[in-house]
Amino acid sequence: MAIDKVNTAAAANIYKTAQNIGADKGVASDKDGVSFGNMVKEGLSDAVETVRNSEKASASAITGDADIAAVVDAVNKAEITLQTVVAVRDRMISAYQEIMRMPI
């Protein structure tokens, strides 16, 4: 699988602009004030934290400081998290493509 080069500064600017557009209008918020963007952001933060915990457990196993069962559990959680993130990404791309095909 080839990975294209991404201009991270441009991507960050686009993301910031998109956040400002939604924040001004208060869109996609439920009655408690939780927005879709915040939900996605928290989910991704949890996914990153799970992967980091797996890396720490793996590093501890290399030095002999960790229980092998804990390492296997952490790696399995990271694998499931990665599969979930990829599935959500694929669904979002599919939804975007379907919206773009809609007649105006």
Return the number of other C-beta atoms located less than 10 Å from residue 27's C-beta.
Answer: 11
pLDDT of 5 above 90: no
User: Mapping DSSP to helix (H, G, I), strand (E, B) and coil, where does residue 29 land?
Assistant: strand
The pLDDT value given to residue 36: 81
pLDDT of 100 above 90: yes
pLDDT, tens digit (0-9, with 9 covering 90-100), for 21-73: 555 454 555 566 678 888 888 988 999 999 999 999 999 988 888 888 989 99
pTM (two decimals): 0.59
DSSP string computed for 32-75: T--BHHHHHHHHHHHHHHHHHHHHHHHHHHHHT-S-HHHHHHHH
Instruction: Please answer whether residues 52 and 82 qualify as being in contact, where contact means their C-beta atoms are separated by less than 8 angstroms.
Output: no
Q: For the chain, give me the number of helices (H) and strands (E)?
A: 3, 0
